[in-house]
Structure formats: C-alpha cells, structure tokens
Structure 1
Amino acid sequence: MRPFLFLCLVMAVAGNSHHAQLSQAQKEKVQQYTMQCIKQTGVKPDVLAEAKKGHFSDDEALKKFALCFFQKAGIVDSNGKLNVEAALAKIPSSVNKADAMKLLEECKKKSGKDAADTAFEVFKCYSRGTKTHILV
C-alpha cells in the first residue's frame, strides 16, 4: 500500500497481517536507498529495526531517515508531503489498491514541525493503518 521503499519501512509484521513480496529489482532499490539514507542520517540500526517492527521512537535521525528514504523513492516532496499517486504506482500488484488509496489519502493529511517530522508522521500513519506488509 505504499511504494516499495515506503513498504520496506512499513514492514512491521503483525500477527494478523497479510504479506506482499517485492520484485528483485525493488528489493535492490530498497537496499540501496536504505544504505544511502543510513549513511546520510546516522540512524542507529537498532532504532531502524524497531521502527520496522512498528515501535517508533521520537528519534531525529529516524525522522530524517524516513524523509531521505521517501524522497529517494519519489513519494514525498521537499516538505515531506506524500504524493499518493506516486506511492500507489509503486505498490505490488498483490496489494488492494482501493484500500491503499483510502489509507494513503488519510496519511497525506499528516504534518509535523518540519519535512522530516512530516514524513515520519506519514510513515507511522501508514504503518499503523495497513493490513498488508511488504517482505524484503
């Protein structure tokens, strides 16, 4: 329900969740963007791992990571605002597009004190609202 990178970040695997698979090319992009954004933001691997599980800390580096990752994926603008159409275009075909659109439209309304905080709020919104998580 989000672009492949958005999906990577939001892959907290809940007990009653459904799962979708990324293509090999998408997995490679996720890995590339993840490594670049870790280096750029200095987010600690354990903080990122907890976020992938759905445990979000109020960590500035994590917020900057979310912005970096989503910008590289082309799903947020320089203000951290979500581009729903771009996000929908990147989701796997196995994900229900109508459900994704509804959730993305809701998450698009989220905002924060700056671009990184806004991107982080979008990330949390989608992660908490989705039933389909992407496996990388």
Structure 2
Amino acid sequence: MFGFGFLPLGAVLLCLGSAIALTPEEESSLKEALHPFVLECADEYGIPEEKFEEAKAKGSADDIDPCFISCFLKKAEFFDGDGKLDVEKTNAFVKAHLTSEHVIQFFEAVGGECAKVNDEEVTDGDKGCDRAKLLFDCIQELKSKIGD
C-alpha cells in the first residue's frame, strides 16, 4: 500500500522518493494525510496500485492520467476549485508534514517557479488536467536545474 500513499504526491511533485530523501516519519505523515485522497481518485479513475508501483519504480508519472493527478491535487487542496495551484495551502501542508529543511526549500522553489502554470492557457477549464500536466513538467524542469 506504500505506493498508493506516497507516489501521487511524488508523481505530482516529481516522484519525491527518488528526487528528495524523506525521513521515515515524513513518509508516514504524508501517507496518513494523503492516502484517503489517493484512494478516492484512484477509484474514480480506475487506477490500480500496480500502476503506481510501476511509476514509482520508473521515477516518472508520465503513465498516470493527469486528471487523476488533478483530482488528487484538488482533494488535497494543492489545487483550488478553479484547477489552479494554491501555493499558500501547498506550502502550509509541506510545513505541517515535513521537517527536512532541504525538502521544505524544494517545495518553496516549486511554489515560486511553478505558480506560472496558473497563467497558462488550458483547454479543460477548471477541471485541472492540463494544469496538472503543466505542473508536473515545471517540477521536472526545476528538478533538473537543482540537480545540475
């Protein structure tokens, strides 16, 4: 069940397990807080646990439906009702559940760099699927910059 509890945040925010080292306590806190949203959205979009395990193993969420990611982001309140990234709520969640300074700084960088996805033209209105993909791409780019 670890995949269901952890990968979606990682999928959206770049497969954190491979990008950023979390403590066992941080992983547990994330799983506890986010697991219900993952299950709801996985059920809604018919995504089996194996799909998350495959994505986690590959370190990529490319095969995960962006509409699932949007569903998850909305339920976790990382996206607002208009399908836009809510940087303040995301940062508040991060600070409430994570303690590693480098992880918090990474998420602050994501908020600063990737809030631009809110200004992008999308074809699905407030559904958020397009914007979830844009966010994923932005985080991927940021991870590459930080990793260099």
TM-score by length of 1: 0.69
CA RMSD of aligned residues (A): 3.0
Q: Counterpart of 2:46?
A: 42
Hey, what's the Cα distance between the residues in 1 that align with 2:36 and 2:80? 20
Q: Map 1:1-136; keep pairs closer than 5 Å.
A: 7-9=9-11, 10-11=14-15, 13-14=17-18, 17-21=19-23, 22=26, 24-43=28-47, 45=49, 47-52=51-56, 53-57=59-63, 62-91=65-94, 92-96=98-102, 97-110=104-117, 111=120, 112-114=122-124, 115-130=128-143
Name the structure with the higher helix share. 2
Residues 15-60 of structure 1: CA deviation (Å, up to 9, x unaligned): xx43113253431232221111111122354554454422514x6x
Extract unaligned runs of 5+ from structure 1. none
- CA apart distance, 1:119: 1.9
Q: Is contact 1:75–1:84 with CA below 8 Å preserved after alignment?
A: yes
Deviation, structure 1 residue 68: 0.9
TM-score (norm 2): 0.65
Gapped regions of structure 2 (runs ≥ 5):
1-5
Q: Equivalents in 1 of 2:77, 2:27: separation in Å?
A: 18
SS in structure 2 at match of 1:67: helix
Count matched residues.
124
